């Protein structure tokens, strides 16, 4: 049949999509099959959804997504084994409500990783093992998460070791956002180099790529890809989208944009197409390192950005419109 996005990019990298675990219509499944060859669960494999209660795992939704992915002959990325967000309360607490110690945290994290990575070791070819541990604040290296407060930074090394033991064939990634910021990027690179120096099994770096119409610029993105390439690791773009709103939430421009809520004008559509074309031009240029580009959500019908950074502000961050029709941005990305 007609070519889809993944076919245009078959000589460069895989094209992925983040999916929920609801049932999909036939139209949706054929749309997935046409454009994508990789799937990430948007939420279902995180600690809260998959182990809401200690030792009671909610595997069923993940199992069906894995089955759909297999049936459509697509690869699957795993997201994520260790993240400060979407962790259930029990994880850090004893029965009496007090905070657990480091040994207990290690025990729980190891059990979690062994159970989840182990169960899907033949399904998931790449795992975001540790997610977002680097701080966005200039003066701070690690994010002061509960994990970090209880265990210091050592648990990061262990998480990779455990994931490798549980799923020896999986590529293990470190995944983070705001990677276009040079200060944060240096810290990410410094941390990865530290892992490499200790022979910790880390094979790839995930750039979430939650970007916007106004950033990154071409030179900023090129510098980002160049810096990460120097690590000699596999690079994957793991959560790509492009908000039509400027990133600086407090700025006057942002307020003006908010007033124009739901206005996906022709000008914005054109600017977005141009920007997406630039992203993909650079992805192709670095395709020796980049093995996969995943979009975070399916189409503009629903994006996590509809509720972030403010609730109920419709965004238009993807290549397909609410009816799964290709936007100008799609045409721009396949035109090379
Ligand atoms: O499923 C529950 C439901 O049981 C509950 O009653 C309801 C009430 O709030 O919430 C539902 O959970 C929501 C969940 O998405 C599933 O829809 C959570 O509130 C909501 O916070 C959660 O948001 C997810 C977010 O991660 C959590 O921080 C987004 O869908 C998901 O797209 C987003 O993805 C993250 C990546 O994992 C990591 N990188 C950043 C990216 C965007 O934030």
pTM of the prediction?
0.96
Alpha carbon nearest to ligand 1 atom 18, residue: 86
Domains of the chain and CATH, by start: 5-334 (3.20.20.80)
Q: How far is the CA of 65 from the centre of ligand 1 (A)?
A: 17
Q: What is the pLDDT of residue 248?
A: 65
| Ligand 1 pocket residue status of 58, Cβ below 6 Å | no
201 pLDDT higher than 90:
yes
Whether the CB-CB separation of 151 and 102 falls below 8 Å is answered with yes
Q: How far apart (Å, rounded) are the C-alpha atoms in residues 289 and 91?
A: 36
Q: How far is the CA of 29 from the centre of ligand 1 (A)?
A: 23
Buried b (16+ CB within 10 A) or exposed e, 143-161: eebebbebbeeebbbbbbb
304 Cα nearest atom in ligand 1: 32
Q: How far apart (Å, rounded) are the C-alpha atoms in residues 2 and 298?
A: 19
The active-site residue, picked from 42, 95, 239, 253, is 239
Q: What mean pLDDT value characterizes the chain?
A: 95
Which of 84-93, 150-159, 231-240, 302-311 has the weakest average pLDDT?
Answer: 302-311
Q: How far apart (Å, rounded) are the C-alpha atoms in residues 107 and 98?
A: 16
> In 36-73, which residue ranges form alpha helices assigned H by DSSP?
47-50, 60-71
Q: What is the pLDDT of residue 310?
A: 79
Q: What is the pLDDT of residue 293?
A: 99
For residue 263, name the pLDDT band (cuts at 50, 70, 90).
confident
Q: What is the pLDDT of residue 253?
A: 58
The pLDDT tens digits for 115-136 are: 999 999 999 999 999 999 999 9
For the question of residue 42 being annotated catalytic, the response is no
301 pLDDT higher than 60:
yes
313: buried, middle or exposed (CB in 10 Å: 19+, 13-18, 0-12)? middle
Q: How far is the CA of 330 from the centre of ligand 1 (A)?
A: 26
Alpha carbon nearest to ligand 1 atom 21, residue: 86
Ligand 1 pocket test target in 81, 237, 304 with most atoms within 8 Å of CB: 304
* DSSP tag of 320: B
Residue 247 CA to chain centroid, in angstroms? Answer: 18
308 Cα nearest atom in ligand 1: 43
How does strand 210-212 pair with strand 204-207? Answer: unpaired
Q: What is the mean pLDDT of residues 295-315?
A: 91
Q: How far is the CA of 298 from the centre of ligand 1 (A)?
A: 15
The pLDDT tens digits for 62-77 are: 999 999 999 999 999 9
């Amino acid at each position: 049949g007609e070519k889809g996005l993944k076919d245009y990019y078959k000589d460069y990298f895989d094209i992925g999509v983040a999916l929920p675990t609801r049932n999909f219509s036939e139209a949706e499944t054929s749309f997935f099959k046409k454009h994508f060859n990789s799937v990430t669960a948007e939420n279902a494999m995180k600690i809260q959804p998959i182990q809401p209660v200690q030792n009671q795992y909610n595997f069923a939704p993940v199992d069906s997504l894995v089955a759909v992915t297999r049936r459509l002959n697509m690869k699957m990325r795993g997201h994520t084994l260790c993240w400060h967000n979407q962790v259930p309360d029990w994880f850090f607490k004893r029965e009496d409500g007090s905070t657990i110690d480091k040994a207990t945290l290690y025990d729980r994290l190891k059990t979690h990783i062994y159970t989840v990575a182990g169960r899907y070791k033949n399904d998931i070819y790449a795992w975001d093992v540790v997610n977002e541990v680097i701080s966005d604040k200039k003066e701070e290296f690690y994010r002061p998460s509960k994990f970090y407060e209880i265990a210091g930074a050592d648990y990061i090394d262990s998480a990779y070791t455990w994931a490798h033991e549980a799923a020896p064939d999986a590529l293990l990634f470190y995944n983070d956002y705001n990677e276009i910021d040079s200060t944060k990027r240096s810290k990410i690179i410094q941390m990865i180099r530290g892992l490499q120096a200790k022979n910790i099994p880390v094979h790839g770096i995930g750039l979430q790529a939650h970007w916007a119409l106004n950033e990154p610029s071409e030179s900023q993105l090129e510098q980002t890809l160049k810096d990460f390439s120097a690590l000699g690791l596999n690079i994957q773009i793991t959560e790509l989208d492009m908000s039509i709103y400027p990133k600086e939430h407090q700025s006057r421009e942002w307020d003006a944009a908010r007033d124009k809520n739901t206005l996906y004008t022709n000008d914005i559509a054109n600017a977005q197409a141009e920007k997406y074309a630039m992203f993909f031009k650079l992805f192709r240029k670095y395709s020796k390192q980049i093995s996969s580009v995943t979009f975070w959500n399916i189409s503009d019908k629903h994006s996590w950005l509809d509720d972030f950074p403010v609730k109920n502000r419709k965004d238009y961050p993807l290549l397909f419109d609410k009816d799964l029709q290709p936007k100008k941005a799609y045409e721009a990305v396949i035109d090379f």
